[in-house]
A and B are shown apart, each in its own frame.
Chain A
């Protein structure tokens, strides 16, 4: 369908803006008192915020924030989670049981509650944000990787490799990981959507990106105070966020159909109820 390709184009634009933002002629921090709360007009596409800063420029900087946070959190979570999950499931015994106990505890914290508490206690800032979200995010991947490895580790080719005396590390990386990568890729895609929302959510609560840096979440937070006089301050960043998240979700659905993955979506960062 055509709108499905639209989602890919939107995501490419998002990545392109995020990567090229430092070289674009943006003025996201330029305070212009004469433009305060200016509604959108031809010279100022998305208007200006409560300090007269151009909303469009801040929106693009916000795209950069969300893109990099999502990249870091999802790659770190994927790496750590897959490693722990796959190794524990392959070795079995006490390793596996220990991992399950840890996973059970982390899963007992609802949604992003743990991330909120951690980010709050660690103090604001992107590094702490990435740390807090990764600490919450790896669990979903670990659980998935574990379940997948358990389901394929008795296959003939793995047993054959074991009989040939192949080292465990090689068995995991060469014989198991390729088999379980499809569901992990799908999970990672949905994970991007979850992280983008979580980053904005934490910034909305004032626990993420700090002023004057821009995040879609903190833009909404600042804009809510002027909802009646300048609704564009809330509508613009929210729409950007919504469009990116929906595009990621559409891509995830498409990947899932294409790779023929059938898993219940984990509820860590992909729950969506933020």
Chain B
């Protein structure tokens, strides 16, 4: 376990370092002078020079990188060019909204996928199975930015049950979370089914059946427990897609989270905020993945007790 932990932490630190550097480089990849792009062609020379100094673009690249990394360690990501506010305080005001959205979407996905996948695996080849997998195919293929408006059309405009957009009260969270959670639910239910089916082939399942355990006990206590690991791994990885999808979903519902902030800032060419958003979302993802891997190791004695590199 200590070796596994050390190896995993080392990778995480490296990835954080690399992600931060890449985010730093984003601005410098833009063809031409970022100052020209931000101010337009008509700006005066003095304005340009001022902005260049404000962004630190007049300094050598390495120095800029150094102060960027130094800033990250001190929770300082510079100031917004549009709002009279620091990037960190902007991110701080939006972070919770995105976390709410992603969290509820995740719960939706698990609540739909677990029973669906279990049912499909238990009644393999039946109408239940085909229905569940049909749902999964639909869910994987439907894009957020279409599902969202369709749900709004049905639940907000036709039935008038839920608000169209914005973030006022718990009801306004339902449609965005459902929209965001559907594709994860689809992928997850497939994964639950296939990993359960694999486990159900094992000898210990046959033994459990032979011992006369109820099919529920066989399925949940012996099957699902062993099928957890591939499901957990997939969950950790898919949370990244969930966070990426949140950017689009937030735009659909005008949800005041990091995603809408990112898109607004791109349109305003507010580069420090763009960098901040990408950094925070990516680092959250890295952290979640790290936690998943640690959880994985903790759940599975085969990894926990193994002395080598996991």
Contacts and interface: CB of A to CB of B under 8 A. Distances in A.
Secondary structure dominating the interface of A: helix
Contacts of A200: 143, 145
Interface stretch (B113-121, B217-225, B281-289): B281-289
A72 interface: no
Given A114-B278, A227-B153, A272 B141 contact: yes
A273 B238 contact: yes
Interface in A188-229: 193, 197, 200-201, 204-207, 217, 220-221, 223-224, 227-228
A213 B174 CA distance: 34
A45 interface: no
Contacts of A81: none
B110 interface: no
Interface in A246-274: 246, 249-250, 253, 264, 267, 271-274
A238 interface: yes
Contacts of A273: 144, 180, 183-184, 187, 238, 241-242, 244-245
Contacts of B245: 111, 273-274
B227 interface: no
22 contacts: A105-B18, A108-B15, A110-B241, A110-B281, A117-B262, A117-B266, A117-B278, A120-B274, A121-B266, A122-B31, A123-B37, A204-B251, A205-B248, A227-B152, A227-B153, A231-B153, A242-B142, A245-B141, A246-B137, A267-B237, A272-B140, A274-B145
B240 A101 contact: no
Contacts, number: 171
Of the four ranges (under 10, 10 to 19, 20 to 34, 35 or more), the interface on chain A belongs to: 35 or more
Interface of A: 101-102, 104-105, 108-114, 116-118, 120-123, 193, 197, 200-201, 204-207, 217, 220-221, 223-224, 227-228, 231, 234-235, 238, 241-242, 245-246, 249-250, 253, 264, 267, 271-274
B103 interface: no
Q: Identify the interface centre among B186, B234, B262, B266: most chain A CB within 10 Å of its CB.
A: B266
A114 B142 CA distance: 21
B256 interface: no
A105 B145 contact: no
Contact of B150 (A102, A113, A238): A238
A117 B274 contact: yes
B244 A112 contact: yes
A110 B141 contact: no
Q: Identify the interface centre among B30, B152, B244, B252: most chain A CB within 10 Å of its CB.
A: B244
Of the four ranges (under 10, 10 to 19, 20 to 34, 35 or more), the interface on chain B belongs to: 35 or more
A113 B18 contact: no
Q: Identify the interface centre among B37, B145, B251: most chain A CB within 10 Å of its CB.
A: B145
Given A116-B247, A245-B142, 14 more contacts: A104-B14, A108-B18, A108-B19, A108-B282, A109-B19, A110-B239, A110-B241, A110-B244, A111-B243, A114-B278, A204-B145, A238-B150, A242-B143, A267-B237
A118 B289 CA distance: 23
Interface in B153-197: 153, 157, 180, 183-184, 186-187
Q: Identify the interface centre among B31, B180, B241: most chain A CB within 10 Å of its CB.
A: B241
B64 to A, nearest CB: 16
B255 interface: no
B145 to A, nearest CB: 5
